[in-house]
Amino acid sequence: MDGESTARFQSLREIARQRILEILDMIQGQKFLAIDPSLVGPLSLIIEMSVLKEHGVSKVSQIVEKEIEFDCRDVIYICRPTIQMMQFISGHVKKCNEHREEHRYHLYMCPRSTTVCEKILISNNVMIDFDSIDQINLFLIPLENDLLSMQMDKSFREIVLERDFSIYHYIARAILQLEHNYGPIQIKEGKGFASGQVLRILKMLEEDDPEHINEVPISVIQSAVLIDREIDMITPLCTPLTYEALIDEVFGIANNIIKVNPRVLENDSDRQIQISLTSADNIFQEIRDLNFCVLKPLLIEKLEYIDNTYKEKDQQKSVEELSKYMKKFKQAHKEASFVQNHLHLAIHITNETVKNPFFNQNLDIEHSIIMGDSDSQILENIERLIGMGEDINTVLRLLCLLSVTQNGLKNKFFDFFRKEILQTYGFEHILTLSNLEKAGLLKKQEGKNNWSNLVKAFKLIKEDVNQRIPDDIAYAYAGYAPLSLRLIENLYISGWNNDVVRSLPGDYSAIRLNTEDKKQADKPLVLLFFVGGVTFAEVAAIRYLNRRPDAKREFVIATTHLINSKSFIDAVSEKIQNEIERSSIE
């Protein structure tokens, strides 16, 4: 989706970029820049290292606990407003004071400064050492024209485990920032507890700042729909089948970048190779949302076209023909490396998935769970995986999928698998199991199982889906239509005022602005905000909805962060090394 309306969101990047440059230019001379590790990737999407150097940055370092050697008088910290960051920074300042080093410190918290952080600096007796303390209102970063992310990877954990309500304020302010820049959003509605909290806070912010609704003559976004990840924890646990989503599963995409072993690309380098995955790569833009089964023949066809283009060189006779050919040749030459890279990636993914018997075995178990097959066979298969020493993340994913679809496991099975996991993988996983239970992912059965009703009401299973020429969003998975997206489709067909929707977690909330009508686009633009993360396969399915000839609206996606099946489980896991294993290693 590359329409003018969605391309406008790239201005969010420029706003953040100008704010960072403003900060750098306010401080004369050379400066040392220390960045929160969790912000290094997001900031790289905003501003390049070369630009930082042009504006006086002598060195960039990550904020860590240990002492940092500053080579400039002026030190700029950019960090999240967390207790850990304040403690690390306080430690740096104290060490420098002990060594009688003279520095001027500047602290910028992102996306907001907080009084809690300032109190920590005061309690550590370093507040007086800062020349300036301010904030960078960096909320949503455009990953693509139609995809905005807050890049807050811990948000799901903060919502379901830590109950950290600050994330609700950040999301509300992110939406308010969109309204400031692109006009008022007339209708905002959401489903789920977190979405309700966001809309409640947003309403208060709008009431405190009523003037913003008249500052932009055209409302770019006509409505917004907020969806809690807690409403649909099934989809992130399922195996996606679109190209970009599988890249994320196999390599892990971080800030539009993957790091690849050079052997995968048949490269002689002695270090990992970074590949950028954006629409700037026109081959990737064309294939990213395709079902993986159609990918390899398409790439081979493109390679043959490029090869034929090279062979045409000697066939050109006139100057005019040669001129036309050179344009064609340059385009083919540009695409050649892209095609080669994607072909190598596709081959590696094939070896890791389609040609991997364990992958297919796990996919069969997953399919049985989604289809509601016999519990006994599913449980037996998962028990066998544990006995084989399958990766614990895979075991937990399948158990969580079974638990979520069945409203929990029967007590005896819950206790049995808990015991098996601890005995097989180590007692250190007890905190992870406790977190999964608290998050509602792996729990004891409570009441009636509603899965069969959801499958029927939302048509979640479509076994005859066309994966080559998609005719349904279920093409992005193995015939499973994401509940989150069926819920959105349902909103525009029959609304959310029905028993099936009410049976899903959380209430329905809405805000409707009483403002003068603004000029609107012919096809309404709808912001879909996934609170707690969205998968690349869901993104692909939403793009499919936008491409449909009968599409009556255009969707743009916003989220707290991008997730996959591994990161979804990791978000609530506790990384504790077994003390016995550690001592044996030492």
Q: Which fold has domain 142-232+473-570?
A: Rossmann fold (3.40.50)
CATH 3.40.50.1910 positions along the chain are 142-232+473-570
Label residue 56 left, alpha or beta by phi (over 0 means left) and psi (-120 to 50 means alpha).
left
389, pLDDT greater than 80: yes
517, pLDDT greater than 60: no
Sign of CA dihedral 383, 386, 388, 392: positive
pLDDT digits (tens, 9 = 90+) for 470-509: 999 999 998 999 999 999 999 998 889 888 899 999 999 9
CATH 1.25.40.850 positions along the chain are 357-448
**Confidence label for 82 from pLDDT (cuts 50, 70 and 90):** very high
CATH 3.90.830.10 positions along the chain are 243-352
Mean pLDDT of the 134-153 span: 96
pLDDT number for residue 255: 97
Strand partners, 105: 75, 130
274, pLDDT greater than 70: yes
CATH 3.40.50.2060 positions along the chain are 10-138
56 touches 29 (CB < 8 A): yes
Q: What percent of the chain has pLDDT over 90?
A: 79
CA-based R_g, the chain, Å: 26
DSSP class of 271: S
pLDDT number for residue 211: 66
pLDDT digits (tens, 9 = 90+) for 432-457: 999 999 999 999 998 888 899 999 99
**Confidence label for 464 from pLDDT (cuts 50, 70 and 90):** confident
Which pairing describes strands 130-135 and 141-144: parallel, antiparallel, or unpaired?
unpaired
pLDDT number for residue 334: 83
496 touches 191 (CB < 8 A): yes
> Both tokens of residue 156?
């799901």
Nearest to 111 by CA among 82, 71, 145: 82
482 touches 227 (CB < 8 A): no
Instruction: For residues 189 and 206, give the distance between their C-alpha atoms in angstroms, rounded to a whole number.
Output: 15
98, pLDDT greater than 60: yes
pLDDT digits (tens, 9 = 90+) for 2-17: 455 567 899 999 999 9
Strand partners, 510: 189
Q: What percent of the chain has pLDDT over 70?
A: 93
Give the SS3 label for residue 218. strand
Give the SS3 label for residue 85. helix
> Both tokens of residue 552?
């009556």
pLDDT number for residue 586: 40
Mean pLDDT of the 201-230 span: 85
Instruction: For residues 205 and 233, give the distance between their C-alpha atoms in angstroms, rounded to a whole number.
Output: 30
Give the SS3 label for residue 358. helix
CB atoms within 10 A of CB 520: 15
pLDDT number for residue 217: 66
Q: Give, to the nearest 10 degrees, the angle between helix 483-491 and helix 536-547.
A: 30
pLDDT digits (tens, 9 = 90+) for 164-193: 989 999 999 999 999 999 999 999 999 999
**Confidence label for 575 from pLDDT (cuts 50, 70 and 90):** confident
Instruction: For residues 64 and 57, give the distance between their C-alpha atoms in angstroms, rounded to a whole number.
Output: 19
112, pLDDT greater than 60: yes
The CATH homologous superfamily to which domain 10-138 belongs is Sec1/Munc18 (SM) protein, domain 1 (3.40.50.2060)
Helices (H), ranges, 115-191:
115-123, 155-160, 166-182
Across the chain, mean pLDDT equals 92
578, pLDDT greater than 90: no
Q: Which fold has domain 243-352?
A: Syntaxin Binding Protein 1; Chain A, domain 2 (3.90.830)
State the Cα angle at 475 between 474 and 478, rounded to 5°. Answer: 75
Q: Which amino acid does the sequence have at 433?
A: L
468, pLDDT greater than 60: yes
71, pLDDT greater than 60: yes
pLDDT number for residue 31: 96
Helix (H) or strand (E) holding 58: strand 57-62
Residue that is written with structure tokens 């396969």 in the block: 537
**Confidence label for 582 from pLDDT (cuts 50, 70 and 90):** very low
Measure the CA dihedral 345/233/153/382, to 10°: -60
pLDDT number for residue 27: 95
Instruction: For residues 331 and 288, give the distance between their C-alpha atoms in angstroms, rounded to a whole number.
Output: 20
> Both tokens of residue 218?
């055209």
Assigned CATH for 357-448? 1.25.40.850
**Confidence label for 409 from pLDDT (cuts 50, 70 and 90):** very high
Helix (H) or strand (E) holding 509: strand 508-512
Instruction: For residues 412 and 414, give the distance between their C-alpha atoms in angstroms, rounded to a whole number.
Output: 6
Q: Which residue has the higher pLDDT, 304 or 420?
A: 420
Mean pLDDT of the 49-71 span: 94
**Confidence label for 584 from pLDDT (cuts 50, 70 and 90):** very low
